Amino acid sequence: MNLTLKIWRQNGPKDKGRMETYPISDVSPDMSFLEMLDVLNESLVAKREEPVAFDHDCREGICGTCSLHINGEAHGPDRAITTCQLHMRKFKEGETIYIEPWRAKAFPVIKDLIVDREAFERIQQAGGFVSVNTSGNTQDANNLPIPKVDADLAFDAAACIGCGACVATCKNASAMLFVSAKVSQFALLPQGKVEAKERVLNMVHQMDLEGFGSCTNTGACEVECPKEISLDNIARLNREYLCATLSSE
């Protein structure tokens, strides 16, 4: 395929930034989206031009670093995948593809398509730890029975990879889906009960400090989430937060 790429170039958070146009040819439909960008960068380096900066790591849909806004959609025109799992067969011959970084105040652009997502790290750090012994002198798993429904829901919430697609998709740049997943994975299990109230209060407080917007239950975050994190987690977060707030008064 022959394609036209419109790519956001920005030298840093204080740079105004601009769209640059790059024609690219002989793109195989079997290439992943990141492999296509690799080919583009190889051609730019060969011409002694600066390559496009983009983030990536595992390229297996696990790490969540390949965060790109493609034609107005987080991770591109497919569902339940990350950008590294997106293949060029999703695009047509001669198509123009717009590639941008996440757009959120709390995710400042580092360079080109790379944004700083340390806000997510600080939210998780605010959540703290579980005081239950989970290493060393651990109990047998069968000594602590957990209903399968709760275990499955906790596992589903823990599948969140913190890519930020929910924030990039939300019209308010809300981080509620991410925070609710991190709260839910502990709130559903007995190991997370000890610090449950302190955890949810601290994480929501940190989320607000980071400058994320409010949730308006639009549901776009759930649609674009590569791990299909459910909006039910946001409802659980609200219940946990309300209970923690009332009990602390």
pLDDT tens digits along 162-210: 999 999 999 999 999 999 999 999 999 998 999 999 999 999 999 999 9
pLDDT at 7 over 90: yes
Measured distance CA(37)–CA(114) in Å, rounded = 14
The residue count of the chain comes to 249
Token duo for residue 64: 């969540």
**Lowest model confidence (mean pLDDT) among 11-15, 97-101, 143-147:** 143-147
pLDDT band at 235 (very low <50, low <70, confident <90, very high): very high
H or E stretch covering 197: helix 196-209
Q: Residue 227 — φ and ψ, nearest 5°?
A: -110, 10
Q: Return the amino acid letter for 1.
A: M
pLDDT band at 134 (very low <50, low <70, confident <90, very high): low
Query: Under DSSP, is residue 115 helix (H, G, I), strand (E, B) or coil?
Result: strand
pLDDT given for residue 144 in this prediction: 80
Contact partners, residue 149, CB within 8 Å, separation at least 6: none
As beta bridge partners, residue 87 has 32
pLDDT given for residue 236 in this prediction: 97
Measured distance CA(82)–CA(174) in Å, rounded = 19
Token duo for residue 77: 């025109």
Task: Kindly report the number of other CB atoms within 10 A of residue 184's CB atom.
Answer: 27
Question: Strand locations in 10-95, DSSP E?
Answer: 18-24, 69-70, 73-74
Q: Is residue 59 within 8 Å of residue 66, measured between CB atoms?
A: yes
Measured distance CA(102)–CA(9) in Å, rounded = 13
pLDDT given for residue 249 in this prediction: 64
Over range 147-156, report the average pLDDT.
95
Domains and CATH numbers, the chain: 3-111 (3.10.20.30), 118-248 (1.10.1060.10)
pLDDT band at 139 (very low <50, low <70, confident <90, very high): confident
Q: Residue 17 — φ and ψ, nearest 5°?
A: 80, 160
pLDDT band at 129 (very low <50, low <70, confident <90, very high): confident
